[in-house]
Chains A and B, each alone.
Chain A
Amino acid sequence: MNIREVDILLVEDSQDDADLAVHALRHEKLASSIFNARDGEVALDFLFCRGEFAQRSFDHPPKLILLDLKLPKVDGMQVLKEVKNDPRTKAIPVVIMTSSKEERDLASGYDLGVNSYIQKPVDFDQFRETVKRVGLYWLVTNQAPVNGLLHAAKQAP
């Protein structure tokens, strides 16, 4: 897999959940390039092109981030905060997909600028349906900025 050009960044610590998500996405032919970050730190390194992802470029951001909240090392909210606070990454759509339907998490998620918040349904059919809709919407229906970068970010030195 070419990590330089990734369509979907799946931030999910559970192998089971990651597999099910990938299975659902593949089922809908949306899993051309998915990168699964198993914790928040890896996700941030990936997004900010550092560490083992230093060869990556901000010119090719992922088209969608599917973010779980309960993560080792750096939790989902922190990842969301850093992504939305940086002009180089703030344009990337972030969809929280979590087991939690906590109002607290919902509120702080939207407060930090999340684009969508979805509770993973227990029923796999429903889960698959949800994943399909999200993928189609953000990867196909939605019009992203050119190269996923904001004009202001490009101008920045």
Chain B
Amino acid sequence: MREPSFLMKTLEATSELHLRTNRRLQESPLRKKSEIVEPQPIHAPIEAPLRRRVTGGFIVAVLMTAFVGFSSWRYARLAAEDADWVVHTYAVMDALELTTKHVIEVETSARTFAATGQDSLLAHYEAAKATIAQDENALRRLTADNPIQQRRLDLLERQVDATLKFAASLVAKRQRLQAIPSDSEILETERLMDSTRDTSQGMQAEEMHLLSLRTNKTNAGRRLTSLIIVVGIFVGAGLLALARLAVNREIDVSTGARAQIIALNADLEQRVEIRTAALQSEIEERKLAEERLAGQAKELARSQREIRILNDGLELRVVERTAQLAETNKELEAFTYSVSHDLRAPLRHISGFSKILSEEFGAALNPDAQRYLQRIQDGTHRMGLLVDELLNLAKVGRHALYRQVTGLGAVVAEVVSMLTSESEGRQVEWKIADLPFVECDPVLIKQVFQNLLANALKFTCPRDRAIIEVSHREENGQHVIIIRDNGVGFSMKYADKLFGVFQRLHRPEDFEGTGIGLATVYRIIQKHGGRVWAEAELDKGATFYFTVGDLEQTEVKYKTTAAGAQL
């Protein structure tokens, strides 16, 4: 019984371990899942309005830059134009001054020649006079775009012509007349010169005026452009600053988000690591458990194999032993059968024919022959008893116990009534107390009472008045049955021989007996797990005790039986 239960325990333990591991493996994801914190919503990607705003801002900035560029370009253009105009103006003024200078040279040389008659002056006069046409052409070209100046140029040309004509007339007068210019003529010259100078100065003033006008105009444009540039720069800078702010914010946000993501990632990784470690350890544990299981299974298989081998051996031995026992039993049965059949048959023949002989031919025999015949019959009778009792003893050994609750009172009553018929003519007092119900084999227990009471009857034979008592007491939870007689008793010296086969304490001449009766009693009580013993004193009777049946057990059974009987 210990082996299977140990195996069962091992199996249970390992399967429980397996279960536990499985359960943990199944549980853990759930547990872990509940621990995982839902990630905080990271900043949504740049929102659409913001994106639109940024795009708008960007477009504005591009336009601004283009505009600023354009304005700068325009400013430069204006500046260049301005410079052109200045150059132009100064060219006009230079031309005017040159013209005026040449005219003055012509007038001066002419007048001086006229006054002095110096020829060198004349050459000078001619040279200056020759350049004036060129100067005028240059002026015409320079002021072509300005009708007012053209008109003034016309006036100037006329005045210059007048001056040149007057000078020429002075020269001619000198050459021809050797006349010295008069004061009026000198005054005229001076007047002409003054008017020419005035016109020239007017033209110069006009040019300067135009220059200042243009300068003013370009200055206004420049200022506007500058303003535009400045404003554009500021707006652009503002936009850039805004963009920078926005970008900075975005960067901040995304940096925060990235930091968050990094932190979350780190957390996640840590968790993954922890989980992985946990899983790994679980896997290790499981592997260990499996290994253990495998080891145990191997061990189990080995012990099962061993057990099987042992069992096989055992079974083989049991089979062999059973076969041997069966063989022995068969032999024993055959033996008892042949004893029963083969020994009893010739005995019967001896008994039968000797009886017939004495009955039918007894009268013809002498008394000695008759006595011998009687002895033959007595012998066969004893042998018959012996054979029957030996068969009984053998049968007890083979007999399987059929235990049932048996009322010992009834059994004793039956045996006593049987014995009473055999003890006719004797004075026998039977003192039968109330006897219990015990669990026993009624057939065998009847044999016990039969043998013991027959003995009591036999050994009280010499008594005038035989007293045979049957009682019981309870001892150590067992029923003790007591059979007491006032017979011849026996010496306790031989008490140990009492229950042996063929052991007799009396001579056959004194008491008939086979020496098998008490051996049979002993076998029967032993088979019931009980005990039998005797107390006696020579000539003072004998008391036989035997225990049978477990008190408590029988009590319960008796009650149920009695209750059943009452129904």
Residues of chain B from 339 to 386 with CB closer than 8 A to chain A in the complex: 340-342, 344-345, 347-349, 351-356, 380-381, 383-384
Cβ-defined partner of B345 (8 Å) among A14, A23, A101, A123 = A14
Q: What are the interface flags for A70-108 relative to B under an 8 Å C-beta threshold, 1 for contact and 0 otherwise?
A: 100000000000000000000000000011111000000
Most A-side CB within 10 Å, residue of B341, B347, B381, B391: B341
**B381 contact set on A, CB distance < 8 A:** 122-123
Cβ-defined partner of A99 (8 Å) among B345, B356, B380 = B345
Cβ-defined partner of B349 (8 Å) among A20, A100, A125 = A20
**Is B337 in contact with A17, judged by CB distance below 8 angstroms?**
no
Given A17-B349, A100-B337, A101-B391, are A122 and B355 neighbors across the interface (CB < 8 Å)? no
Cβ-defined partner of A20 (8 Å) among B337, B353, B384, B388 = B353
Query: Taking the nearest CB of chain A, how far is it from the CB of B331, in angstroms?
Result: 15
Q: What are the interface flags for A11-39 relative to B under an 8 Å C-beta threshold, 1 for contact and 0 otherwise?
A: 00010110010010000000000000000
**Is B352 in contact with A100, judged by CB distance below 8 angstroms?**
no
Task: Give the docked Cα–Cα distance between A128 and B96 (Å).
Answer: 203
Task: Give the docked Cα–Cα distance between A109 and B345 (Å).
Answer: 20
For residue B347, which residue of chain A has the nearest CB? A122
Task: Give the docked Cα–Cα distance between A122 and B355 (Å).
Answer: 12
For residue B346, which residue of chain A has the nearest CB? A16
Does A124 reach chain B (CB closer than 8 Å)?
yes
**A98 contact set on B, CB distance < 8 A:** 341
**Is B355 in contact with A17, judged by CB distance below 8 angstroms?**
no
Most A-side CB within 10 Å, residue of B345, B347, B353, B380: B345
Task: Give the docked Cα–Cα distance between A70 and B338 (Å).
Answer: 11
Task: Give the docked Cα–Cα distance between A109 and B90 (Å).
Answer: 173
**B354 contact set on A, CB distance < 8 A:** 124
Does A120 reach chain B (CB closer than 8 Å)?
yes
**Is B348 in contact with A127, judged by CB distance below 8 angstroms?**
yes
Q: How many inter-chain residue pairs (CB < 8 Å) link A and B?
A: 57
Task: Give the docked Cα–Cα distance between A99 and B383 (Å).
Answer: 15
**Is A122 in contact with B380, judged by CB distance below 8 angstroms?**
yes
Query: Taking the nearest CB of chain B, how far is it from the CB of A28, in angstroms?
Result: 14
Classify the interface of chain A: helix, strand, loop or mixed: loop
Query: Taking the nearest CB of chain A, how far is it from the CB of B150, in angstroms?
Result: 172
Task: Give the docked Cα–Cα distance between A98 and B383 (Å).
Answer: 18
**Is A124 in contact with B341, judged by CB distance below 8 angstroms?**
no
**Is B341 in contact with A123, judged by CB distance below 8 angstroms?**
no
**Is B340 in contact with A16, judged by CB distance below 8 angstroms?**
no
**Is B352 in contact with A99, judged by CB distance below 8 angstroms?**
no
**Is A123 in contact with B351, judged by CB distance below 8 angstroms?**
yes
Task: Give the docked Cα–Cα distance between A102 and B342 (Å).
Answer: 13
Task: Give the docked Cα–Cα distance between A123 and B382 (Å).
Answer: 10
Q: What are the interface flags for B306-342 relative to A under an 8 Å C-beta threshold, 1 for contact and 0 otherwise?
A: 0000000000000000000000000000000100111
Cβ-defined partner of B348 (8 Å) among A100, A102, A124 = A124
For residue A122, which residue of chain B has the nearest CB? B384
Cβ-defined partner of B344 (8 Å) among A16, A23, A102, A120 = A120
Most A-side CB within 10 Å, residue of B352, B354, B383: B352
**Is B352 in contact with A20, judged by CB distance below 8 angstroms?**
yes
Task: Give the docked Cα–Cα distance between A120 and B341 (Å).
Answer: 10
**B349 contact set on A, CB distance < 8 A:** 14, 16-17, 20
For residue A101, which residue of chain B has the nearest CB? B340
Task: Give the docked Cα–Cα distance between A23 and B354 (Å).
Answer: 13
Given A99-B341, A100-B340, A102-B337, are A120 and B348 neighbors across the interface (CB < 8 Å)? yes
**Is B352 in contact with A124, judged by CB distance below 8 angstroms?**
yes
For residue A14, which residue of chain B has the nearest CB? B345
Query: Taking the nearest CB of chain B, how far is it from the CB of A48, in angstroms?
Result: 27
**Is A124 in contact with B340, judged by CB distance below 8 angstroms?**
no
**B352 contact set on A, CB distance < 8 A:** 16, 20, 23, 124, 127
**Is A122 in contact with B348, judged by CB distance below 8 angstroms?**
yes
**Is B384 in contact with A99, judged by CB distance below 8 angstroms?**
no
Cβ-defined partner of B355 (8 Å) among A16, A120, A125 = A125
Query: Taking the nearest CB of chain A, how far is it from the CB of B441, in angstroms?
Result: 14
**Is B355 in contact with A99, judged by CB distance below 8 angstroms?**
no
**A20 contact set on B, CB distance < 8 A:** 348-349, 352-353, 356
Task: Give the docked Cα–Cα distance between A20 and B350 (Å).
Answer: 10
Query: Taking the nearest CB of chain A, how far is it from the CB of B496, in angstroms?
Result: 33
Residues of chain B from 244 to 263 with CB closer than 8 A to chain A in the complex: none
Task: Give the docked Cα–Cα distance between A144 and B375 (Å).
Answer: 44
Task: Give the docked Cα–Cα distance between A102 and B394 (Å).
Answer: 12
Given A14-B345, A23-B356, A99-B345, are A122 and B351 neighbors across the interface (CB < 8 Å)? yes
**Is A100 in contact with B341, judged by CB distance below 8 angstroms?**
yes
Task: Give the docked Cα–Cα distance between A120 and B342 (Å).
Answer: 12
**Is B341 in contact with A17, judged by CB distance below 8 angstroms?**
no
**A23 contact set on B, CB distance < 8 A:** 352, 356
For residue B336, which residue of chain A has the nearest CB? A102
Query: Taking the nearest CB of chain A, how far is it from the CB of B555, in angstroms?
Result: 32
Task: Give the docked Cα–Cα distance between A122 and B380 (Å).
Answer: 8
**B347 contact set on A, CB distance < 8 A:** 122
Task: Give the docked Cα–Cα distance between A122 and B381 (Å).
Answer: 7
Cβ-defined partner of A124 (8 Å) among B351, B388, B391 = B351
Given A122-B380, A123-B381, A123-B384, are A99 and B344 neighbors across the interface (CB < 8 Å)? yes
Task: Give the docked Cα–Cα distance between A67 and B331 (Å).
Answer: 26
Known: A14-B345, A122-B387, A124-B351. 11 other contacts (CB 8 A): A16-B349, A17-B349, A99-B342, A102-B337, A102-B340, A122-B344, A122-B348, A122-B380, A122-B388, A123-B381, A123-B384
* 19 A-B interface contacts by CB (under 8 A): A14-B345, A16-B345, A16-B352, A16-B353, A17-B348, A20-B356, A23-B352, A98-B341, A99-B342, A99-B348, A101-B340, A102-B340, A120-B344, A120-B348, A122-B384, A123-B351, A124-B352, A124-B354, A127-B348
